[in-house]
Amino acid sequence: MQFPHIDPVFFRIGHLEFRWYGLMYILGFIAAYFIVRRAANRRGLALTQDDVADVIFSLAIGVILGGRLGYILFYNLSYYLSHPLKLFAVWEGGMSFHGGLLGVILAGAYVARQKKIGFPLLADICAPAAPVGLGLGRLGNFINGELYGRVTDVPWGIIFPGGGGVPRHPSQLYEAVLEGPVLFLILMVVGRRERPAGVVFWTFIAFYGLFRFLVEFFREPDAQLGLLAGPFSMGQLLSFPMFLLGLVMAVLVSRRKVGP
């Protein structure tokens, strides 16, 4: 089937453009505020509305700066060295989850210290917000017609603009479902019982790594990188260690006594 024509710009005022991709980030941060606030109340944390807003703002800075720097370093350093002004064109895409994760962890460690909250506990109450943002972000990728999948003959294959005129896996939608509602449901199930601080966070790390590793088999490798180690892409080389680390840490942390 043909890719449905969706204008990546949903609103214009003169030369000012508002893009769906950016809107997805905004919606993700708004949802994160309410998810974190609810989780903090359920855990009995003395966080005011302003405290939660500070947490979300800090994490937003971490994910944007880390995501952009991660993409530049991991995926396309030579291009950005040649086009330095493109460093700031985040509305055109070009964000790395793995870089964003490192940025969020650093920002989370900072804000946890400022608010005098244990980092594992803060990570647990923030982790369920991540799948919402991830799912929305993948929808933004689909609207942009970017990060499409490999050539396929499955009935739901889509001919993307710039995809060579052949049907491809809508891998953005695969990721949107797995990294979004499926991962969110897993974290909700894990978080229903009182567990040692850090279990929910490490569960997120493990399952994101697993889902991303699997979907990468259907996603077209980045043109500037291709496959780096046999059949594996950069995304897989970054995600599989996440899966192993998350799995091991979730098991180890779950053996501790319940508490922050």
pLDDT tens string 77-88: 888 888 887 777
pTM: 0.89
Of residues 89 and 56, more confidently modeled: 56
Q: What is the mean pLDDT of residues 136-140?
A: 92
Q: What is the reported pLDDT for 58?
A: 95
Write down how long the chain is.
260
Q: Which phi and psi angles does 3 have, rounded to 5°? A: -65, 130
Confidence (pLDDT) at 93: 60
For 40, residues 6+ apart whose C-beta sits below 8 A from its C-beta are 47, 52, 125
Total Cβ atoms within 10 A of residue 193: 8
Specify whether the CB–CB gap between 143 and 7 falls below 8 A.
no
Numbered residues of the known binding site = 138
Question: What are the phi and psi torsion angles at 31 (to 5°)?
Answer: -60, -40
pLDDT score for 90: 66
Distance CA 234, CA 221 (A): 8
For the segment 244-260, what is each residue's pLDDT rounded down to a tens digit?
A: 999 999 999 999 876 54
Let me know: does 224 contact 75? Beta carbons within 8 Å.
yes
What's the mean pLDDT in 202-230? Answer: 92
